[in-house]
Amino acid sequence: MPKYSWNMALGSKLKTNKIFILVLICIFFSQSAAYAAKGGIHIPWFKKKEKPQIERFDEAEEIPSYTQENILDTPVFDESQEVIKEVPIKHDKDAVYIKSINISGNSLVKTEDILNAMSAKTGMLYDKELIKVNLREIYNMGYFSEKIKAVPTVTKDGVIIDIQVEENIPITGFVIKGNDVVSTKEIQGILAKQVGMPQNIVSINKAINEIEEYYAAQGYILARVLNIYDEPDGTIFVEINEGVIDEIKYSGNTKTKDRVIANNISVIPNTVYNDQLMQRDIMRLYNTQAFGNVKRSLAPSEKDPTKYCLTIEVEEKRTGSISIGGGLDLTTGLFGTASYQDRNFLGKGQQTSLSFSTGTGAIMGGDDVLDKADFQANASFIEPRLFGSLTSMEISAFGTSWASFQVPLATEQRYGGGIEFMRPLRNYPHVTAGLGFGIEYDKVKEGSEKKAKELFASVGEDFSKRAEQLDSGLFLSATPSLVFDTRDNAMMPREGVFVMGKLKGAIGVAGDHDKYLAVTGTMKKYFPIAKKSSLILSARAGGKLAGEMPEFASYRLGGARNVRGFKEGHVGRGYGFVSGGLEYRTPIPFLDRITSNQMVNNTRFAVFVDAGQIIDSSLTQKLYGWPGYAISAGVGMRFFIPGLGPLAIDYGIPFTNVGRNNSKHGQFTFFFGESY
């Protein structure tokens, strides 16, 4: 019974399986018939890998069309699609790769340049989207119209891609309009490489930037390319607005007349604005010391929007002063002084000054200088713009009475005056030419005949030569000069060059009838270091060229303004000299963190080396046996005193040729201003 029951159950199960298998076979044949009708037979339920379908497509419909009404407008594409820079090659038997890329339609643009602009390369996996990106890359070269097509062809070895381009009209030449300060030749030089090539929006816009940058480098910061358009023959017209000043306005000046500011401004209406010249004009206005602040602003002119209005805004400061004071000086000893000056006299930009001083006499002058009280008086008037021109005029008068530093053991009285004209050379903006005329009465008198005789006797010189030392009289002189100045600041320079040369011709018309011709030259080069430090290289030379120069007009070395560390004139005296120096100036560390006082923060510590030599010694040199040449080094401080300028206090130590009248341990010197 159990056996029977098992057989019956098994038979029933087999019957059911047969029915199930029969159903599967029917489904198999029905699916096969369906796929066969579609062109193939395969085993159902196993997905077949579809062969890539290569489509022909025309990218012209996807690239927006840009009118060329103004070819300055560079097309901007929608780059929302990812640009495929590199497609890894898949080792898949059904993958399709790029066999080759062909370029057609180009005649002026090199095929290799087009291929280099494409990210798709031979051997890469073919990707339609990548080719679309490449068409954009080709179009962005700028040489072609929007009619760019990519036609793929399938071969058994891969896909051949034919890129069809259409070049823009070739450029046959450029016509420049509106340029005046920059020559057509210079502008054509920037554009020349595009002639003969298809019009290229990208290259033209780049050239326009180069043109404007070239203008700006010359100081013409307002220059702009206003318009650019092409003609059917391939000629491209470039219109330039160089930035002409229509009018100039002044503001902030209440005392100063407009014409005073205008006289210091080289920019004039109906000329092209140059910012480099304007910066020099602003510095010139500062140097008048009539203004605490000077600004310039530019805006389109209300009368003519194609031109500009220049506004000069100034902040006036007090220019007149009366001072009474005193101090200590090596040449005048303890002294008292009274002075009046105005750097903007009556608001006309003229400068006037008047000063008197008297002192106890030279200190630390040595045994060749008498102990005698001195007196000095000076008056000057400066017209910086004579008759509104660039020529300046200075009229001066002076009188002095003191112990002579030129002739030993003698006194000097000098009275005279002069007039000097200075004018910058228009074609050489950093060069100023000058011409001065003077009249001077010099009276050199014996100060101590006894000491003088003892001096002559000590070296075996005939005392009759003393008369030659005391020669003096009335002299007329003429002095032409040239100055080259690129300093960033006349009072406290850190950068630039100052070079000055003077030729002086003098003739005696009363008393001593000597006449002579002499030349002197000065050079200073300022090298900025870090933010506030500087290195100064200086050189000076002078000498008699012809005639007989009286001893009171000779040169001396030693002292505050040449070889420091020596007493005044104690390196030597003669009718020619050369000298030089090297000086490093730097702020005192952390001083600006302690105080914000500008005068204190302008203080500088200095280290220097000086050297000099006398040429063609005078009789005084022989009498005292000074070395004639020397080298010294030392340290010092520089203080900027408002109204007076920089004050230099130095301590120098002689390295060579100390001599009998100089201290081996060094010498203090001090003076106002820069030594030139």
Backbone angles phi, psi at 418, to 5 degrees: -170, 170
Q: Are residues 488 and 625 in the same domain?
A: yes
Is the per-residue pLDDT at 6 higher than 70?
A: no
> 364 lies in a domain?
yes
What one-letter code names the amino acid at 660?
R
pLDDT at residue number 20: 44
Q: What is the CATH number of the domain that holds 140?
A: 3.10.20.310
pLDDT at residue number 36: 39
Q: Are residues 279 and 331 in the same domain?
A: no
Question: pLDDT confidence of 355, banded at 50, 70, 90?
Answer: very high
User: Looking at 32-41, 63-72, 162-171, which range is the least confident one?
Assistant: 63-72
Across the range 367-394, mean pLDDT stands at 90
Q: Are residues 114 and 212 in the same domain?
A: no
Is the per-residue pLDDT at 37 higher than 50?
A: no
- Tens digits of per-residue pLDDT, 296-317? 999 999 999 999 999 999 999 8
Question: pLDDT confidence of 656, banded at 50, 70, 90?
Answer: confident
- Tens digits of per-residue pLDDT, 428-471? 879 999 999 999 999 999 999 999 999 999 999 999 999 989 98
- Tens digits of per-residue pLDDT, 523-545? 999 999 998 899 999 999 999 99
pLDDT at residue number 507: 95
> 218 lies in a domain?
yes
- Tens digits of per-residue pLDDT, 488-501? 888 789 999 999 99
pLDDT at residue number 365: 63
Is the per-residue pLDDT at 279 higher than 80?
A: yes
> 54 lies in a domain?
no
Q: Are residues 202 and 134 in the same domain?
A: no
Question: pLDDT confidence of 577, banded at 50, 70, 90?
Answer: very high
Is the per-residue pLDDT at 183 higher than 50?
A: yes
Q: For residues 415 and 271, what is the distance between their CA atoms, to the nearest angstrom?
A: 48
Q: Are residues 103 and 44 in the same domain?
A: no
Strands (E), 83-214: 98-104, 149-155, 158-164, 173-177
Q: Are residues 446 and 533 in the same domain?
A: yes
Is the per-residue pLDDT at 575 higher than 80?
A: yes
Burial of 626 (0-12, 13-18, 19+ CB in 10 A): buried
- Tens digits of per-residue pLDDT, 204-213? 889 999 999 9
DSSP states along 177-234: ES-SSS-HHHHHHHHGGGTTSBP-HHHHHHHHHHHHHHHHHTT-TT-EEEEEEE-TTS
Residue that finishes a domain, picked among 263, 295, 316: 316
Residue that finishes a domain, picked among 139, 164, 189: 164
Give the residue, 29 or 513, on which the prediction is more confident: 513
Is the per-residue pLDDT at 611 higher than 90?
A: yes
- Could you say which DSSP state residue 285 is in? H
Strands (E), 571-625: 572-587, 604-617
> 474 lies in a domain?
yes
Range of the domain at 292: 245-316
pLDDT at residue number 663: 60
Q: Are residues 98 and 71 in the same domain?
A: yes
pLDDT at residue number 41: 33
332: left (phi over 0), alpha (psi -120 to 50) or beta: alpha
Is the per-residue pLDDT at 80 higher than 80?
A: no
3-class SS of residue 278: helix
pLDDT at residue number 662: 57
> 480 lies in a domain?
yes
Q: Are residues 281 and 384 in the same domain?
A: no
CB 294 within 8 A of CB 312: yes
Average pLDDT, the chain: 82
> 459 lies in a domain?
yes
Q: Are residues 666 and 547 in the same domain?
A: yes
> 53 lies in a domain?
no
CB 59 within 8 A of CB 129: no
Residue that finishes a domain, picked among 209, 225, 241: 241
> 569 lies in a domain?
yes
- Per cent of the chain over pLDDT 70 is 83
Q: Are residues 407 and 480 in the same domain?
A: yes
pLDDT at residue number 86: 37
- Per cent of the chain over pLDDT 90 is 48
Q: Are residues 490 and 585 in the same domain?
A: yes
Tokens, residue 339: 């002075």
Distances (CA, A) of 403 to 82, 371, 413, 560: 91, 7, 9, 18
Q: Are residues 270 and 358 in the same domain?
A: no
Domains held by the chain: number: 5
Tokens, residue 305: 């929007």
Centroid of chain to Cα 140: 38
Burial of 140 (0-12, 13-18, 19+ CB in 10 A): middle
